[in-house]
Amino acid sequence: MGWENSKLHNHWKQAVKKGNANDFVICITASSKTGVSGTGKTTLTTDLAQSTDLTEDGFDATQKASLDAGEIAYERVPEIEPHSAIVWDEAQGAPGTVGLDARRAMKQEAIDSVSSILANRDKQFTIIITAQIFSMLDPRIYPLIDAWLLIRKGPDHPNGPVGTYHKVFVEDYNLGNPKVKTPAVEDFAWNQVPHDDPDYQELERLKQMAKTQNYGDDPEEEDGEDATPDISIDQRNALLKQRIKDDDVTESDLAATFGISRQRVNQIVND
């Protein structure tokens, strides 16, 4: 079933286009029965992001996609215009990023990412979260998720691509160990986004950077030398804190100026 005629489309439209202002959070994972690669997560994510971004300029992965909880919390969700689609790729975590891995204690950036999504629900974002396995995500994210899309057959499968749309319900009253129910709603297919599509290429680039641990690497931590050798680290940190307080700049701007990662900027300003 295609997007326009799907129940998923209707449920999304009811949330972000009609009635009270609300967001719509989609989680995409692939079945363990699919291959390690070629599952279609990136093409499905790209297709959905481009279909659900209601802004005049549309979805732009260079501005509206990230692999890192800190970027989602402090830059993407608070700063992006309403009615946008935002992609949080590999949300379980990747080298050089902060994720929502259920097996680890949540870092402050991960906690803030959940809080940021909750605080900005009236902006009617479509937030697309991808992960390797649904259960790898911290359970605290489950109440935010409206739709779980499980890819069962990749695009290269003879009868693919095929996914199943599940609704996500979290029991309200068992606070100690709330039950999560994921009833299946319908099967669906998606458009085959060409691999030279700019948004597809950007999502692939982010994942490749994470694989090589270049995503968010800090030159200062890597080689032991300050990226601004003409001033001390203490002086740099003081200047950085002053600039983010006084100037209309983002953490990414300061990271580029001082030659350090955005994650490192966030650590400094919140120290």
* pLDDT tens-place values along the chain, 271 residues long: 678 889 999 999 999 987 678 999 999 999 987 766 778 899 999 999 999 999 999 999 999 999 999 889 988 999 899 999 999 999 998 887 888 988 777 788 889 999 999 999 999 999 999 999 999 999 889 999 999 999 998 888 888 899 999 999 998 887 777 889 999 999 999 988 998 999 999 999 888 877 765 565 544 444 444 455 566 677 778 888 888 777 677 777 787 777 777 777 877 887 6
DSSP structure string for 210-257: HHTT-TT--HHHHHSS-SSTTS-HHHHHHHHHHHHHHSS--HHHHHHH
Give φ, ψ of 168 to 5 degrees: -120, 120
* pLDDT at site 247: 66
Residue holding tokens 């057959």? 153
Confidence (pLDDT) at 250: 79
Per-residue confidence (pLDDT) for residue 3, from 0 to 100: 81
As beta bridge partners, residue 25 has 127
Alpha-carbon separation of residue 78 from 34, 121, 204 (angstroms)? 35, 11, 24
Alpha carbon separation from 112 to 85, 116, 120, 141 (Å, rounded): 19, 6, 12, 12
Cis-peptide, bond into residue 178, ω within 30° of zero: no
Looking at residue 171, its pLDDT comes to 87
Provide the pLDDT for residue 222. Answer: 43
Tell me which residue of 61, 34, 10, 271 sits closest to 151, measured CA to CA.
Answer: 34
**100 class by beta-carbon count within 10 Å (0-12 exposed, 13-18 middle, 19+ buried):** buried
Can you list the domains of the chain with their CATH numbers?
Answer: 7-211 (3.40.50), 219-269 (no CATH)
Which pLDDT belongs to residue 221?
Answer: 45
